[in-house]
Amino acid sequence: MKLAKRYLFIFLIIITISLEGCSGITNSTYSNVVNGELDLRQWDFLTDGNINLNGEWEFYWNKFVMYKDLEDEKPDLIASVPNIWNRYTLNGAALPGEGYATYRLHIVSGLPPGTMLGLSLLTFSSAYTIYINDHMVASNGRVGATVSEEAGEYRPQAVFFTIPASEFDMIVHVSNFHYARGGFWDTMLMGLPGDIQKHRELMMGKEIFLLGALAIIALFFAAIFILMPELKYSLYFSLLCLVLAVAVDMVGQLIIPQLIPSLNLHNVVIFMWYTSTNWIFVCTILYVHELYPSRFSGIVLKVFLASAVLLQLSYILFSPAYYSKFGYINESLIIAGVFFTVIIVARGINKNDKTGWLNIISMFIALVTFIHDILYWDNFINNDFGEVFYVSLFIFMLIQMIIQAQRIQVFREQETAAQLVFLQAQIKPHFLFNALNTIIAISYYDGNKARNLLMDFSNYLRRTIDNKNLSQFAPLKKEIELAQSYVEIQKARFEERIEVTFEVPEDLEVRVPILMLQPMIENAVVHGILPRPEGGQVEVLIKKEGKTLQFTVRDNGIGMSPEKLDTVLKHDSGKGVGIANVDRRLKKLFNERLQINSSPGTGTEITWKIPVS
């Protein structure tokens, strides 16, 4: 719990710093757009920076009012901007999503005519045209009074214009016949061209960085899954990163859809937004279900998966104008998905799981910030720094990468432990039977020698069968004792046919990989000198050179041809811990390989090195 509090404290600091950074991106403050007018005579663009145009705009419903018509037209209402016009009330009734309208703002700039200014624009629904007095300065799609006349488009942009006079009008025509909610729903910024361009580049850079980071993470963990298919949560985490990247872009700079200019940006953006958000919660639950599987998580996964499939079918079968009416269902399911994700993690963690609380904290932060951004996107709340989910998403992904790395480490340790258990179990049954028979036979005429051999045999079994200590390393002393016990048992059986000498360093406490020395001696005895009727000698030399420990096992046995040596290094015999197995472990642990020199009739020398402190 202390660890969780420490991480929470660090995350809150990071979020605070990040939000401060976000708030300084535009240098904008809430403007004084009151009753359709903005007075900028006290605003200095050079020092105060960009200004947002949020506030009270004049609103003309179902009319495309031009500059020349303003004297004859009266606004239907004073509208809050940014907002969807579905929330506006006219003659006691809420406006429908479909329709068209004009927004008008009178600006008193205090600047000389010909001054160049810029606008930073996100999106309107579903098409718009912006005029400065009677001069068109920006458009997206084609506005129309009917569904056939309109061509919707979503494309953020920065535009620049010169003001015709110290006072001028900004007129915005908006139409919507392809989405459930229409209107002027994003903040517009105005400022000097250089500042607007910097803001645009900064927003693009921030999103490209985030999309690139998510894509790299997705590819990295997809590669982990390909290499280790057992780690299914790596696949689900990769998919989560991909759908998050799409969802983030759909409410940001819309970089992904614009990579294919031939696409209908309006329909494609809506489809990609709803599809990506639809599968975010499914991928999240898949991910945590794999991390913390339970009956409860399985039920939750099935329910949300079925919901996602039904929603996706509606996105495929129906037009955006229809299924976007139920967008709140999608958003509610996402919030519910994150909520159940937290419950799954909370139920699955245990006292020894240090990453569990870290997981819960990161998901809680993601949930809170996502709810904030939904309210921001739906214009229920407004603030200077805009979306905060970017920050929490980045923190969430970093935390999940840490958790994934820890789990991969645990997986590798478990895999190594299983490998060691396998290695320890590879004692040849016939060696056990022969050793016992030898001890029994010797006990009839030499009880003391039989007892000594039983002690050697006991030590050999303890070192090779004990599964309690699954560490890959042990003191050199223990490995030498194991090898000597094996040698004594074989010498008792084959007597003068076997001669083994040891030359070892003074420091016997240095830690070395287990089950490497004894298998090499066994290989020399069984495959090197015993096939010779007269037997032979095996020399074991271990010497320390600086920070390297060098092992040499040399015999004067029958040796091997180059062809046989190549076969031995590629394939184990299936009997005991083979040379190829030791060679693989050396490469995995130290990126080292066995060095083998052998020739038929002369003998074999096997050498390997390991780093030591």
Report DSSP letters for 283-342, one per residue.
HHHHHHHHHS--HHHHHHHHHHHHHHHHHHHHHHHS-HHHHGGGHHHHHHHHHHHHHHHH
In contact, 170 and 107? CB cutoff 8 Å: yes
Task: Give the total residue count for the chain.
Answer: 613
Residue 509 three-state SS = coil
* The pLDDT of residue 421: 52
- State how many domains the chain has: 3
Residue 178 lies in a domain: yes
My answer on whether 295 and 334 are in the same domain is: yes
- Cα(217)–Cα(237) distance, rounded to whole angstroms? 9
My answer on whether 516 and 431 are in the same domain is: yes
Among residues 235, 317, 232, 304, which one has the least CA distance to residue 271? 317
Percentage of residues in the chain having pLDDT higher than 90: 38
- Cα(23)–Cα(350) distance, rounded to whole angstroms? 39
My answer on whether 172 and 67 are in the same domain is: yes
In contact, 310 and 367? CB cutoff 8 Å: no
Q: Give the residue from 191, 209, 237 where a domain finishes.
A: 191
The pTM of this model reads: 0.64
In contact, 63 and 165? CB cutoff 8 Å: no
- Cα(265)–Cα(54) distance, rounded to whole angstroms? 26
The answer to whether the bond into 156 is cis (omega within 30° of 0) is no
More confident residue, 392 or 282: 282
My answer on whether 398 and 490 are in the same domain is: no
- Cα(346)–Cα(118) distance, rounded to whole angstroms? 50
* The pLDDT of residue 503: 93
Mean model confidence pLDDT for the chain? 81
My answer on whether 434 and 496 are in the same domain is: yes
Residue 197 has pLDDT above 60, yes or no: yes
In contact, 19 and 391? CB cutoff 8 Å: yes
Residue 29 lies in a domain: no
Convert 535-571 to b/e letters by CB count within 10 Å (16 or more is b): bbbbbbbbeeeeeebebbbbbbbbbbeeeebeebbee
Q: How many CB atoms lie within 10 A of CB 419?
A: 16
- Cα(139)–Cα(130) distance, rounded to whole angstroms? 6
What is the domain-level CATH number for residue 481? 3.30.565.10
- Cα(38)–Cα(32) distance, rounded to whole angstroms? 6
In contact, 453 and 440? CB cutoff 8 Å: no
- Read off the pLDDT band of 250 (50, 70, 90): confident
C-alpha angle 478/480/482, rounded to 5°? 70
- Read off the pLDDT band of 15 (50, 70, 90): very low
My answer on whether 463 and 546 are in the same domain is: yes
* The pLDDT of residue 12: 42
Residue 421 three-state SS = helix
512-536 pLDDT per residue, tens: 888 788 889 988 998 899 999 899 9
What is the domain-level CATH number for residue 11? 1.20.1070
Q: What are phi and psi of 276, to 5 degrees?
A: -65, -45
My answer on whether 94 and 216 are in the same domain is: no
Specify the residue for token string 């031939």.
262
Among residues 101, 124, 126, 115, which one has the least CA distance to residue 53? 124
Q: Give the residue from 416, 447, 481 where a domain finishes.
A: 416
Residue 304 lies in a domain: yes
More confident residue, 386 or 120: 120
In contact, 533 and 552? CB cutoff 8 Å: no
- Cα(539)–Cα(551) distance, rounded to whole angstroms? 11
Domain that holds residue 186: 37-191
Q: Which ranges in 470-561 belong to alpha helices (H)? A: 476-494, 517-523
Residue 570 has pLDDT above 80, yes or no: no
- Cα(537)–Cα(498) distance, rounded to whole angstroms? 6
Q: How many CB atoms lie within 10 A of CB 385?
A: 17
Residue 32 lies in a domain: no
My answer on whether 448 and 582 are in the same domain is: yes
Amino acid at position 247, single letter: A
- Read off the pLDDT band of 584 (50, 70, 90): confident
- Cα(147)–Cα(144) distance, rounded to whole angstroms? 7
Residue 28 has pLDDT above 60, yes or no: no
Q: Which ranges in 232-264 belong to alpha helices (H)? A: 232-250, 255-258
105-154 pLDDT per residue, tens: 999 999 999 999 999 998 898 899 999 999 999 999 999 999 999 998 88
Highest mean pLDDT among 17-26, 86-95, 485-494: 86-95
- Cα(247)–Cα(245) distance, rounded to whole angstroms? 6
- Cα(72)–Cα(598) distance, rounded to whole angstroms? 104
- Cα(311)–Cα(151) distance, rounded to whole angstroms? 25
Amino acid at position 321, single letter: A
Residue 327 lies in a domain: yes
CA 414 to chain centre: 22
Helix then strand then coil, % of the chain, to nearest 5: 50, 20, 30
Residue 135 lies in a domain: yes
Residue 147 three-state SS = coil
CA 165 to chain centre: 53
What is the domain-level CATH number for residue 106? 2.60.120.260
Which residues, listed in sequence order, are joined to residue 169 by a DSSP beta bridge? 106
Strands (E), 338-409: none
- Read off the pLDDT band of 467 (50, 70, 90): very low
More confident residue, 571 or 558: 558
**309-338: average pLDDT:** 86
Q: What are phi and psi of 368, to 5 degrees?
A: -65, -45
Residue 30 lies in a domain: no
My answer on whether 134 and 86 are in the same domain is: yes
Q: Give the residue from 165, 191, 217 where a domain finishes.
A: 191
My answer on whether 131 and 237 are in the same domain is: no
Tokens standing for residue 468: 């309690």
My answer on whether 448 and 378 are in the same domain is: no
Residue 559 has pLDDT above 70, yes or no: yes
My answer on whether 158 and 214 are in the same domain is: no
